[in-house]
């Protein structure tokens, strides 16, 4: 499995699946979630409403579901709800579950490539270094348990500071 750390816009990535750091309603929001909904078009909201019927209380933290990518270059969007540290959700296992379950969904879709944002960093209050460490561990374990399931895992990060933190933790050279 190839691992890449990129600074940029996840909605432009030409991968099989992108991961949406969704809220539990799956109805769109701010940040990455809002950007993905805007880029994918109204069809994504309709698909999320259908998925939401199976989760009347909202998608639980740490779980993942998928929808088509619609107008995105990615074929699928994998939606996962990260833990909100400000709401007392500070267990790293909840965060790890987001990455692990997203990887499992990608595998079930026979996706060869996936792009992640920094789930729960930013407005949900998690430290970027902790997010990167949890993410790296989840990806490493997934690759050990399911070798060859994915050819490429990207972390597509909005700002230079977050990108530098992920590169530092992952030990990935710039570029």
For this structure, is 33 an active site residue?
Answer: yes
Helix (H) or strand (E) holding 21: strand 17-22
Sorted by sequence, the CB contacts under 8 Å of residue 77 that are 6+ apart come out as: 17, 18, 19, 20, 36, 40, 44, 66, 67, 68, 69
CA–CA separation, 117 and 21 (whole Å) = 7
Which candidate, 97, 103, 113, places its Cα nearest to that of 143?
Answer: 103
Catalytic one of 14, 33, 127, 143: 33
Active site members: 33
């Amino acid at each position: 499995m190839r691992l890449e750390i990129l600074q940029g816009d996840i909605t432009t990535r030409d991968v099989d699946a992108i991961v949406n750091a969704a809220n539990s309603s799956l109805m769109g929001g701010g940040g990455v979630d809002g950007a993905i909904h805007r880029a994918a078009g109204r069809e994504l909201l309709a698909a999320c409403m259908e998925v939401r019927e199976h989760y009347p209380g909202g998608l639980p933290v740490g779980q993942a579901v998928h929808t088509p990518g619609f107008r995105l270059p990615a074929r699928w969007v994998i939606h996962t709800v990260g833990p909100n540290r400000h709401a007392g959700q500070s267990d790293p296992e909840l965060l790890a579950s987001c990455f692990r379950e997203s990887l499992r969904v990608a595998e079930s879709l026979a996706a060869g490539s996936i792009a992640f944002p920094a789930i729960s960093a930013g407005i949900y209050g998690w430290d970027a270094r902790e997010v990167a460490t949890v993410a790296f561990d989840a990806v490493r374990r997934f690759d050990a348990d399911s070798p060859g399931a994915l050819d490429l895992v990207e972390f597509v990060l909005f700002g230079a500071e977050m990108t530098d933190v992920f590169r530092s933790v992952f030990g990935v050279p710039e570029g």
